[in-house]
Amino acid sequence: MGPPDHRRRFEEIYMAHYPDLLGYVRRRTGSPDDAADALSETFATAWRRVHDIPDGEQARLWLYGVARLVLANQRRGEARRGALAARLREELVAWERDHPREDMGAIREAFGRLSPDDRELLSLVSWEGLDTAQIAAVLGCSRGAVRIRLHRARKRLARELDAADLDLVAYGPRAVALLKGQS
């Protein structure tokens, strides 16, 4: 079966079974967006495996089987995201308990006083976890240039934090290491 036959077979299957599959996933999802995601993933699988789809009524059953697996994957993903969100909430509550909000405002203000380039560079290191080679690729410059710019940005941030009279030691060794360029 060549490409035109592949396409024709897929279109026939799609047109014949789309309404049934839409109902199937709609009844098993919580939102139209989730249903659309499941439906598109089901038909993407059908496109890739059109030669494996049986003929006649068995095609609809095959598609239901694929949709069932897609929905199971969606549920597992939602469960993982929910567990991660719960863990992050717990960490945030614990972190906020140990770090007064006044300090956070002062830290945000100090960070905000930096140039946009310094903020981006420091964000790539601390929030995105990129190393100098990766940052060089993102910024389109050499690793040496990144190291110099990062060193200068950290010094400027340290000056801003000192001016705000913040003691970074209270935020742990990672905060101090980031400012000193040890991370």
**Other beta carbons within 10 Å of 103:** 16
- In terms of pLDDT, which residue wins out, 122 or 70? 70
Between CA 38 and CA 28 the distance in angstroms is 10
pLDDT tens column, 66-108: 999 999 999 998 888 888 888 878 877 776 677 656 667 777 8
With a cut of 50, say whether residue 18 has pLDDT above it.
yes
Between CA 134 and CA 138 the distance in angstroms is 6
Q: Whats the size of the chain, residue-wise?
A: 183
Here the tokens at position 163 are 């001016």
What are the residue ranges of helices labelled H in the chain?
A: 3-27, 32-48, 57-98, 101-112, 116-126, 132-139, 143-163, 173-180
Q: What's the pLDDT score for residue 183? A: 47
pTM of the model: 0.51
Amino acid letter, 182: Q
* 3-92 against 100-180: fold identical: no
pLDDT tens column, 156-171: 988 888 787 776 666 5
Q: What's the pLDDT score for residue 108? A: 81
In contact, 48 and 40? CB cutoff 8 Å? no
CA quadruple 86, 87, 91, 92: dihedral positive or negative?
negative
Architecture of domain 100-180: Orthogonal Bundle (1.10)
pLDDT bucket at 110, cuts 50 / 70 / 90: confident
Q: What's the pLDDT score for residue 39? A: 96
How much is the CA Rg of the chain, to the nearest whole Å? 26
CATH label, 3-92, candidates 3.30.2130.30, 3.40.1010.10, 1.10.1740.10, 3.40.1160.10: 1.10.1740.10
- In terms of pLDDT, which residue wins out, 162 or 23? 23
**Across 1-5, 45-49, 57-61, least confident range:** 1-5
Q: What's the pLDDT score for residue 17? A: 96
Burial zone of 16 (CB within 10 Å; 0-12 exposed, 13-18 middle, 19+ buried): middle
| For the chain, domain boundaries | 3-92, 100-180
Q: What percent of the chain has pLDDT over 70?
A: 84
- In terms of pLDDT, which residue wins out, 89 or 39? 39
> How high does pLDDT run on average in the chain?
85
